[in-house]
Chain A
């Protein structure tokens, strides 16, 4: 009797295994810019939730420092392990082109985010178009500065494509709409995605440009670091800073009034959309993502398609918002 039960169980196990393979559950990997930072912890939660909702495992693997070489190494390992879908957010898009090319030659579906200029991907997905966010940051900062005075732009690193594109768009917006805003000589500084460095830079900038009134930051460390310096200099209400930031990280400064607003989109939703898009391509539901396609998340029910300037399409949704002292608590992170 025992033998029969054992045999039946064994056959069932084999059959279920065959069924699983036949159904074609893809092996998926998600590579963030870095792990162990709140922004990416939040993305990780989104990816894990997606995995639970869809009943598909996702390998979530990233470096402990913001390092292009380390990230490429991780991606190379994953591609060689044999995966079907690779979603990622590159530290240096150019550095990732070669491994993405190899991945696609192996038939792996490659979906990027924050790298609209990349060539060797199936799609790049953005929460919004870069010009839109850049203009949004500038509009917010200009209103705080009373539409006049000296300002500078700040990025995490000069190699971070999207942050530099936002900064470019913000400068373009200022030139077009705010004639009394003056970009100082240094134009752009980088803080290595470190709030302490953003603090030091703000101190130095104010030393070099005594009339500096605004810092248009991009990465999530820029505004908190700049705000600490502004507070310490006793310049709350006279000097302003903005960037994309996590609500809980800047709540002190929103409450004290040093920061009037920061910009945000929900990166965990973008990550889920990357996975949804990859699944649509993997299951053959769509050959191509078209204008108006529903990628199954809030803000992405009717996506936009744009040319990246190199003859390749990328996808974007409608996803940015202003976080202020009134609404920061509603985000829960």
Chain B
């Protein structure tokens, strides 16, 4: 590796995040008495739990990442997810759908999310308003529809069997050598991997991906360079809506319950993670790899607080610190690039 390449690498946030993640893994490994990584087998009870937590957060982070690369903020994706899955599960329950297969429900949630996302896209692309303000408005609007207008209720034990069975699928099963306790690697991890691959492909290999980076870098230049800014933004926000609906439904399956207000405030843990992973708050920057590393850090911390002997109050402290560090690093980098 030549020095120029090394120098370039050390300038990237992802590089430091990866170091943090490795140090953290080492710390948890030591404090837990070797429960995080146990060779020769790859999976342990602790790391499958961390991976499981990463599924929903990681997929939401992908939503947030693509929006941030385009220079926008989407605060409404948790509200879209919540309205999509709450409406879907209520419809399925009332009509007796999805008793054996979850596919219709997943498609329905995506369709609802797509429609909601289109509303975001339409407002943002047509009126050229600040994305944060627009999505803050639509977030409240969607929550209002769910809780006020439709009065959607929690669905727990009565959740259609198709969803419950789907959420319990696993691709690996084993038992903890020490205690004999069974553990499984949720099959939902495959969705996270697939989504990361797809987003990575779109960002790096397609015109749409290039358009996102260009718009995020400088919208006026992008427009002059021939990118259709309006159409790109409309497509982006509608796609993120559909994706949010899908992710919400995956969460419902994994938890075997549909709770309309479970997503409230979710954006406030996801967006900092994406910033921490190297996405710029000014747009034009961000990678799938950095985002996955950052989500990994947060999932690992939240799943090992007790093992590390950290009081639960300190988790809030940690989350606050993440926001501060992430935003500061991002702002400093943007400043350095200008000079």
Residues of A within 8 A of B (CB): 35-38, 41, 64-65, 158, 186, 189-190, 194-196, 199-201, 203-208, 210, 224, 228, 232-235, 248-252
Contacts and interface: CB of A to CB of B under 8 A. Distances in A.
A196 B147 contact: no
B264 A65 contact: yes
A2 to B, nearest CB: 42
Given A64-B261, A228-B256, A234-B181, A204 B153 contact: no
Contacts of B143: 64
B157 A210 contact: no
Given A38-B154, A252-B157, A235 B304 contact: no
A139 to B, nearest CB: 26
A41 B257 contact: no
B147 A200 contact: no
Interface string B128-149: 0000000000000001000100
Contact of B158 (A35, A228, A248): A248
Interface string B152-163: 011011100000
Interface stretch (B117-125, B286-294, B305-313): B305-313
Given A64-B264, A194-B262, A249 B49 contact: no
A210 B179 CA distance: 7
Contact of B181 (A194, A206, A249): A206
Given A36-B261, A200-B302, A251-B157, A233 B183 contact: yes
A105 B304 CA distance: 48
A204 B262 contact: no
6 contacts: A37-B261, A158-B313, A200-B303, A207-B45, A224-B257, A249-B154
B313 to A, nearest CB: 8
Contact of B178 (A203, A210, A233): A210
A207 B182 contact: no
B153 A41 contact: yes
Given A36-B260, A200-B302, A207-B307, A232 B179 contact: no
A250 B157 contact: yes
Contact of A196 (B255, B304, B307): B255
Contact of B49 (A64, A186, A200, A224): A200
B154 A203 contact: no
B29 interface: no
A204 B306 contact: yes
Contacts, number: 82
Nearest to A255: B157
B176 to A, nearest CB: 8
A233 B181 contact: yes
A65 B140 CA distance: 13
Contacts of B153: 38, 41
A232 B181 CA distance: 9
B184 interface: yes
A210 B45 CA distance: 12
B181 A235 contact: yes
A78 B172 CA distance: 54
B307 A249 contact: no
Given A37-B261, A38-B153, A235-B181, 5 more contacts: A158-B313, A186-B306, A194-B262, A207-B45, A232-B184
A73 B11 CA distance: 46
A40 to B, nearest CB: 11
B35 interface: yes
Contacts of B262: 194, 196
A189 B306 contact: yes
B320 interface: no
Interface string B245-265: 000000000011101111011
A206 to B, nearest CB: 7
A52 to B, nearest CB: 18
B235 interface: no
A120 B157 CA distance: 40
B307 A208 contact: yes
Report the 8 A-B pairs with minimum CB-CB distance, sorted nearest first: A234-B182, A204-B306, A251-B157, A249-B156, A210-B179, A252-B157, A233-B181, A203-B49
B53 interface: yes
A329 to B, nearest CB: 11
A207 B264 contact: no
A207 B156 contact: no
B46 interface: yes
Contacts of B154: 36-38, 249
Given A64-B147, A190-B312, A194-B262, A207 B255 contact: no
Contacts of B53: 200
A224 B305 CA distance: 21
Chain A CB count within 10 A is highest, among B45, B179, B181, for B181
A35 B312 CA distance: 25
B221 interface: no
Contacts of A36: 147, 154, 260-261
A323 to B, nearest CB: 13
